[in-house]
Structure 1
Amino acid sequence: MQFGIFTVGDVTPDPTTGHTPTEAERIQATVTIAEKVEEVGLDVFATGEHHNPPFVPSSPTTLLGFIAARTERIVLSTSTTLITTNDPVKIAEDFSVLQHLSQGRTDVILGRGNTGPVYPWFGQDIRKAIPLTVEHYGLLRRLWREEVVDWEGELRSPLHGFTLAPRPLDGVPPFVWHGSIRTPEVAELAAYYGDGFFANHIFWPASHTQRMVELYRQRFELHGHGHASQAIVGLGGQVFMRRNSQDAVNDFRPYFDNAPVYGHGPSLEDFTSLTPLTVGSPAQVIEKTLGFRDYVGDYQRQLFLIDHAGLPLKTVLEQLDLLGEEVVPTLRKEFATGRPDDVPAAPTHQSQIDAAREADREPDPSPSPNTGEEQERQ
């Protein structure tokens, strides 16, 4: 199982000091956090994509390419690449280059995004978000898999005789996760293609995440990709730790109360009881995180959000030390206990190569999947 960090890249004032980092400071801090992720033994660093203040990661592959040069082992991913407003050709090109730069340490979480003004900024209509998601992803798959692409759709100009350059590393596209908080159509898209499903899982109660993951697993099996328990699931989560739980609550409260995302709403106590947010000791983080398996089953990737709401870099690095030294080693051991043998490990570039070679040796006897048009009607 993979463990890592995802960032939304917000530039938020520290409510305890009043200091607001510059955009340059926030970007450099993100690089430092990614390097620390590798240092403490975690597996994945992922960045979001935002095109509006107060966020800085408007060009995720540029950021990840720089981090690739500063790291050797961790998987570099996005916590959202906007499949709706980005052109599929550009996504295919950028991630193929990143694959080569990182020597295969690349995958991608695709999502619709939840910022309405972004759509017209990139010439799109938010009312067509789902059709854009389906059409753009269908084209993206072909760009990564076919040498010459002839394609026509309804929402983008056609392509004739297009060849992607560079081609994916070793002929294997980056593994794709489809990320969502609340959209069942995204879970269906992931299941239809046999891709991974990443449930953001940071704002909603466990019952909602359970329903979304169950839908994905059921449809994964229905589309013939294996048993429901073999579907590839990732979860988000939020944590803030101190060795003493009350210190954690006291230290985090001003950040929570003033956070742009959830400040001025439910109390910290209510939010931690209703959502996956854990504020407390490492033992409490371990206990709550292990509980995720009770309602989503055995899964493959757990990413934590720890650097938002104006938390200073020093505090974020302290969180990473606690994750690497006290939390993740125990989670690895406990999540492995009782894990069925047929539940797959988290996909990697090498496992994708191995799967492609196996598919070449053994033709797939299963019926052809539904057409994209049929999938949209379901």
Structure 2
Amino acid sequence: MTGTQFGIYTVGDVTPDPTTGRAPTEAERIRATVAIARKAEEVGLDVFATGEHHNPPFVPSSPTTLLGHLAALTERIILSTSTTLITTNDPVKIAEDYSVLQHLADGRVDLMLGRGNTEAVYPWFGQDIRNALPLTVEHYGLLHRLWREETVTWQGRLRTPLRDFRLAPRPLGGVPPFVWHGSIRTPEIAELAAYYGDGFFANHIFWPPSHTRRMVELYRRRYEHHGHGAAHQAVVGLGGHVFMRPRSQDAVREFRPYFDRAPVYGGGPTLEEFAARTPLTVGSPAQVVERTLGFRAYAGHYQRQLFLLDHAGLPLTTVLEQLDLLGEQVVPVLRKEFAADRPADVPDAPVHPSAPTPSPT
């Protein structure tokens, strides 16, 4: 696997289908997520990522449980997160869980750290959302050490100290999981990613390209400033949301009721207004290809592109059809076009040395 990775991510919402009024049960939604991940590997995608949520109407409260199950059901696809909460999870537990998962999945594991923006969740885990940024910085500083040092003695401000702590198991082959720092709007997260030389993931489904450009350019400048390489060599990932049908007018007609009642979209701009202002693409596979190729105009050459396909109550059969279109008509073209003008000194997408290489689509 070289160049840019292409995959999907889920937020795991349990939303009624607006065309039928029926919501899946939590068990049905979890099983559907497993089917979606397996289908993603079947159609040749590189990455499946799950979110982490601890409040209704979402079900992925335990990403490592889900990804551990998927590790046994898949062979090549990278298993990741679209959010691992660095604020409300203890860094020692994150280090342990993802080290175990690395061993189970033969290295096919990385993770994306995020703060979480649901205020009520913080006290459930003994934290205060007003400390979100300090928690992020302190917890990640500890996590980074836990994966790299045999014995850790540490003291911070927001967590009890550690003395002579030894992580078990150690990361697979001594190589920690690659870390992405995900953010929509927070410059401090771009700085954190740059400081450590980690990846920065801009989930730009809500914001115009001008905002994403500023965030990515900040990360790239600071990556170079901290001595990890030239700005254009920084490791960038982008999110996106697509809905496709062979004919664009059919895609718009079918997706409109889902957009209008989606938990993250409904009640705001119209579908047309939102698609014009953000990277949301509802149309034909060719339109998705064209729009995605345009992301490089403001993000530069980047290493990971993830698409959201299963939000807002879409039935499983429809999501699986979306995956067929993505795997057959979109990703093969994107692979070819992304590789055609990629500078030789831009690094490939990060992969653990033990991970098997997926067969290209």
Task: Quote the offset at 1:7 in angstroms.
Answer: 0.1
Unpaired runs of at least 5, structure 2: 356-361
Match of 2:210 in 1: 207
Alpha carbons 2:107, 2:354 under 8 Å: kept: no
2:262 aligned to which of 256, 259, 263: 259
Q: What TM-score, normalized by structure 2, do the two folds share?
A: 0.97
Once residues 337 and 306 of structure 1 are traced to their aligned partners in structure 2, the CA distance between those partners, rounded to angstroms, is 27
Matches within 5 A, 1:173-212: 173-212=176-215
Corresponding residue of 2:37:
34
Partner of 1:128: 131
The letter of the residue matching 1:255 is Y
1:144 aligns with 2:147: yes
Counterpart-to-counterpart distance in 1, 2:37 and 2:317: 14
Alignment partners' CA distance in 1, 2:65 and 2:119: 24
Question: Which residue of 2 is the match for residue 97 of structure 1?
Answer: 100
Q: Map 1:34-113; keep pairs closer than 5 Å.
A: 34-113=37-116
In structure 1, list runs of 5 or more residues that go unmatched. 353-378
Q: CA-to-partner distance for each residue in 1:305-364, whole Å, 9 max, x for gaps?
A: 000000000000000000000000000000111110000000000199xxxxxxxxxxxx
Q: What do the CA deviations read for 1:20-53 (whole angstroms, capped 9, x no partner)?
A: 0000000000000000000000000000000000
SS of residue in 1 equivalent to 2:344: coil
Distance 2:237 2:133 in 1: 21
Question: Match of 2:136, SS?
Answer: helix
How far did residue 225 of structure 1 move? Answer: 0.4
- The offset of 1:74, in angstroms, is 0.3
User: Helix, strand or coil: the match of 1:161?
Assistant: strand
Count of aligned pairs: 352
1:153 corresponds in structure 2 to: 156
SS at match of 2:54: coil
- The residue type equivalent to 1:290 in the other structure is L
**Aligned residue number for residue 252 of structure 2:** 249
Task: Encode CA deviations 1:68-99: one digit per residue, 9 max, x unaligned.
Answer: 10000000000000001100000000000100
**One-letter identity of the residue aligned with 1:6:** Y
The residue matched to 2:213 in structure 1 has which SS? helix
Q: Distance in 1 between matches of 2:91 and 2:207?
A: 30
Would the alpha carbon gap of residues 25 and 351 (structure 1) be closer, same or farther in structure 2, given more than 3 Å must change? closer
Paired with 2:22 and 2:100, the residues of 1 have a C-alpha distance of: 37
1:130-179 superposed Cα distances (whole Å, 9 cap, x missing partner): 11000000000111111111000000000011101111000010000000
Aligned position for 1:297: 300
Residues 12 and 311 in structure 2, CA contact (< 8 A), matched pair in contact too: yes
8 Å contact from structure 2 (residues 51, 60) kept in 1: yes
CA distance in 2 between partners of 1:179 and 1:328 (Å): 23
Distance verdict in 2 for CA 1:172–1:232, change over 3 Å: same
Bigger relative CO (Cα 8 Å, ≥ 6 apart): 2
Deviation at 1:114, TM superposition (A): 1.2
Matched, 1:229 2:232: yes
Give distance in 1, aligned partners of 2:266 and 2:286.
26
RMSD: 0.8
TM superposition outliers: structure 1 runs of 4+ over 6 Å: none
Match of 1:339 in 2: 342
Q: Which of residues 18, 22, 26 in structure 2 aligns to 1:23?
A: 26
The secondary structure found in structure 1 opposite 2:137 is helix
> Residue 350 of structure 1: SS of its match in structure 2?
coil
The answer to whether structure 1 residue 216 and structure 2 residue 229 are counterparts is: no
Report the Cα distance in structure 1 between the residues aligned to 2:44 and 2:5, rounded to whole angstroms.
11
